[in-house]
């Protein structure tokens, strides 16, 4: 079993620490800061093997160099972003596989938020580490890519098995849900989810991971083909990309 520890940092970031107890190998996904990771490693007596970066933004790579210096780990990230990832050792492409002990992750390229964004999909462990491409009830802003690119990227994730757990890297769930309700107010599953999210946030608890199944039921960026949502937007019978583009535009100014 893949041991996954969620580490909250900064105002709303999550770092994920992954450990295989058989091999002793450990990886960290998107370390914004080094010290919180080093503390958890020390508490558990683990040695860091890899850093897995999804994209180049500072709040995902800020701890790279310090962790590499102190643990001699190797850094894996998109080959196309090799000039923007601090300390990168291995550049990966769509379809490449990385191993953490007996656990294997497939690389999926998901440009949109940034041009070189990738995600790590552990199929047998039913776990997706998706950085800032997919959020609970949302998706990443389009800083470097087009709406069509992001839509295409999300389609790759939408078809993953329904029980796949979604480990995104920001606690944006409640804010995203408010927007989701604005475009799909009659979605009963969405309404119920927001009640559950509110209870968790009142206790300062994480709302993650989500699942692909839950996102397909409540995330508007996974529901651009829903007729009621299209009608709410005044875009009946329009292409999925046009609907998605309008959703992203509205979210940006929400």
Given the residues 56, 57, 103, 117, select the one marked as catalytic.
57
Query: For this structure, is 170 an active site residue?
Result: yes
In the set 19, 55, 103, 117, the catalytic residue is: 55
Which residue among 19, 20, 30, 59 is the active-site one? 59
60 part of the active site: yes
> Is 19 annotated as catalytic?
no
Tokens describing residue 31 = 């370390």
Q: For residue 160, give both structure tokens.
A: 């993953």
Point out the catalytic residue in the list 20, 30, 81, 132.
132
- To the query of whether residue 103 is one of the catalytic residues in this protein, the response is no
Query: Out of 60, 81, 103, 117, which one is annotated catalytic?
Result: 60
**Active-site residue, 56 included:** no
Report, as residue numbers or ranges, the catalytic residues. 55, 57, 59-60, 113, 132, 170
């Amino acid at each position: 079993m893949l041991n996954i520890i969620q580490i909250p940092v900064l105002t709303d970031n999550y770092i994920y620490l992954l450990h295989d107890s058989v091999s002793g190998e450990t990886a960290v996904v998107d370390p914004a800061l080094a010290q919180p990771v080093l503390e958890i490693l020390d508490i558990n007596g683990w040695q860091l093997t890899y850093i897995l970066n999804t994209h180049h933004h500072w709040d995902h790579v800020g701890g790279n160099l310090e962790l590499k210096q102190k643990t001699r780990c190797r850094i894996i990230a998109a080959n196309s972003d090799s000039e923007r990832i601090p300390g990168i050792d291995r550049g990966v492409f769509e379809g490449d596989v990385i191993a953490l002990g007996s656990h294997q992750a497939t690389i999926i390229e998901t440009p949109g938020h940034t041009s070189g964004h990738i995600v790590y999909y552990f199929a047998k462990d039913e776990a997706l580490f998706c950085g800032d491409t997919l959020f609970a009830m949302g998706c990443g802003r389009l800083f470097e890519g087009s709406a069509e690119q992001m839509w295409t990227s999300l389609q790759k994730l939408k078809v993953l098995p329904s029980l796949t757990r979604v480990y995104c890297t920001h606690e944006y769930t409640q804010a995203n849900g408010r927007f989701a309700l604005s475009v799909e107010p009659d979605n009963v599953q969405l309404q119920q989810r927001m009640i559950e999210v509110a209870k968790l946030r009142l206790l300062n608890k994480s709302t993650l991971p989500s699942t692909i199944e839950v996102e397909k039921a409540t995330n508007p960026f996974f529901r651009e083909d829903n007729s009621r949502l299209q009608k709410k937007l005044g875009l009946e019978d329009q292409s999925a990309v046009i609907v998605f583009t309008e959703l992203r535009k509205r979210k940006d100014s929400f």
